[in-house]
Amino acid sequence: TVSARRGSEEYESDGDEDRLRDAAESVRLYLEEFGASTDDAVRISSSCPNYLDMLMDSVDDIDHWNSLSASDSDRESMQEAVDFRKKVYQMAKQKGDNGLLPFLESIGVSLPSATHLARYLSSSVSNSLPLLIHKVNHLKGVLYSGGGADDLQIIAKNARRMMAHLSISADEDVQQTLAFFQKIQARRDGLNRLGNESASFHHLIESFPRLLLFPVESRMKPMVEFLGGIGIPDGGIRNVVLLFPPILWYDIEKDIKPRLKSFEKVGAKGDDLGKMLVKYPWMICASVQDNFHSILAFLDHKKVPKNCSSRAITKWPLILGSSITRLSSMVEELNSMGIERQKLGQIISRSPQLLLRKPEEIRRMKSFFRDLGMDDGTVAKTFVRCPEVLAANREATLERKLEFLFREVGISESEVRRVICKYPEALVCDVERAMQPRMSYLREVGFSKRDVASMVRRFSPLLGYSVEKVMKPKVEFLAKTMRRPLRDVVGYPRYLSYSLERKIKPRYYFLRARNMELSLKEMLGKNDEQFAVDY
């Protein structure tokens, strides 16, 4: 009995597979009738399982209803007259979707959404099945061709930034885009999958069905060509469209060009506009355009030099989505430290992303530097000189750099304030790729750890000097040509700051020709006029 039941189940399974194959074959023929190529028809009919189930269920329901109302002889004649494939084919034609429904399911759209979308698309004569297949293939080519894991991460990071830093009232286009992002974010791996075709394309079509209304030749291709013409590479075009899909239905002449032209007020032209658009595609939407003019007026009111505010906007256009209230709270925090006008301009032109931070984050940074023994005036000077420290994470970045200075360089806690005052850039230097190799090189050529610590204390900027371009050529010239000991550099580490070709070599050869030997400080510490007078 067990084997008989298993055999019965296998028979039913085989029968279901046969029915499914027959149904798919009927749908293939149906799709070809509406203009799909054989290859496309085969691919679509094998990728719309819910549509096939719907057709088969409808056929079964009709067969069941007819069997209840017909006599035995009528039932036999009906079964012989119409085979299963033909019934499925006829049922597909009765649905009246012209092949759009199975196609939409084949690209990932759920059947309920596909049903609604098919009705929407069928209202336009430009959406015959072959044309729709062509549009989808072209759109996928723009959005998903090329690019690797790094590109996916960049798209995801930009989407998160755009969402996080939008604090103005969003217009309809931005609201739709936010809703699209939220659909992706709710799925596994979230926005990391925004640039993945299988994960995001069906959500894109469900969120923006208008994308399928526009013809490829007269709308999509000209838009791609225009974006390429302002300096956006193919990969960048993909990013722009995924981060702001409504751009594809904007009119180039009436919408995009005039809105981009408005950024000429901040000196952005040509490729500058392309770079800005890749960073912040929302810059051309109506709400951001309105806010742009408000931001310019606000920064002008704060006496920020126009060249500084212009540089800040072109460098970090995400500022454009920030409300004046939010910007004002940040500017007031900096003003409270005495950072105003020109100094404020210096900060925001170098690190415009600071305007998107929260005042409490700046206060935490102030606390960090006060703990090092700096007064408020010195802290403000440090921020102006190296505004990047304000954007750094205290625990992950700043305290880690201090630990490196203590442990690897040999700077004591009482000395670190002086080092940071002289060279705050040390706090934003990469330890593994920058500072560690520099310290290792100095030790390898013969400087002791005590020597290195002394040099850093006396001339902190050497922490930022390239080994290959700066340190190595000068140390080798000192040892091999000048035949001086390394202790001379310990006594005058500023030697490493002078140009080898423009200052060190000319002065060395000048003095050697006169049989004169000076200390490094005497040789290099004077300007050209004083050196000429003395020697």
State the pTM of this model.
Answer: 0.84
**Exposure letters 385-424 (e unless 16+ CB within 10 A, then b):** bbbbbbebeeeebbeebbebbeebbbbeeebbeebbbbbb
Looking at residue 465, what is its pLDDT?
Answer: 96
Amino acid at 214: F
Q: How far is CA 20 from CA 31, 39, 42, 50, in A?
A: 16, 19, 13, 11
What is the C-alpha separation between 258 and 255, in angstroms, rounded?
6
Please report the sign of the dihedral spanned by the C-alpha atoms of residue 496, residue 500, residue 503, residue 506: positive
8 Å CB contact between 500 and 474? yes
Looking at residue 4, what is its pLDDT?
Answer: 41
Question: CA 232, 349, 305 angle in degrees (round to 5)?
Answer: 120
Comparing CA positions, the residue from 230, 242, 233, 318 lying closest to residue 274 is: 230
**Which positions ≥6 away from 258 have C-beta within 8 Å?**
none
8 Å CB contact between 510 and 527? no
Q: Which residue is it, tokens 């999958």?
A: 193
What is the C-alpha separation between 400 and 388, in angstroms, rounded?
16
Amino acid at 212: L
Q: At what angle do helices 286-301 and 306-315 cross, to 10 degrees?
A: 150
Comparing CA positions, the residue from 210, 251, 9, 235 lying closest to residue 124 is: 210
Amino acid at 499: S
423 three-class SS: coil
Three-state helix/strand/coil letters over 286-329: HHHHHHHHHHHHHHHHCCCCHHHHHHHHHHCHHHHHCCHHHHHH
8 Å CB contact between 452 and 442? yes
Looking at residue 69, what is its pLDDT?
Answer: 64
* DSSP, res 230: T
- CA torsion angle 474 382 280 276 (round to 10): -50
Structure token pair of residue 467: 């080994």
Computed over its alpha carbons, how large is the radius of gyration of the chain? Answer: 35
**Which positions ≥6 away from 381 have C-beta within 8 Å?**
none
Q: Which residue is it, tokens 């700043």?
A: 398
Looking at residue 151, what is its pLDDT?
Answer: 85
Q: How far is CA 90 from CA 27, 40, 58, 86, 94, in A?
A: 10, 20, 11, 6, 6
Per-residue pLDDT 10s for the chain (535 aa) are: 444 444 444 445 556 888 999 999 999 999 999 999 999 999 999 999 999 999 999 999 988 787 776 555 555 544 544 589 999 999 999 998 999 999 999 999 999 999 999 988 887 777 899 999 999 999 999 999 877 777 889 999 999 999 999 999 999 999 999 999 999 999 999 999 999 999 999 999 999 999 998 899 999 999 999 999 999 988 899 999 999 999 999 999 999 999 999 999 999 988 899 999 999 999 999 999 999 999 999 999 999 999 999 999 999 999 999 999 999 999 999 999 999 999 999 999 999 999 999 999 999 999 999 999 999 999 999 999 999 998 888 888 899 999 999 999 999 988 999 999 999 999 999 999 999 999 999 999 999 999 999 999 999 999 999 999 999 999 999 999 999 999 999 999 999 999 999 999 999 999 999 999 999 999 999 999 999 888 8
Amino acid at 271: D
Looking at residue 70, what is its pLDDT?
Answer: 54
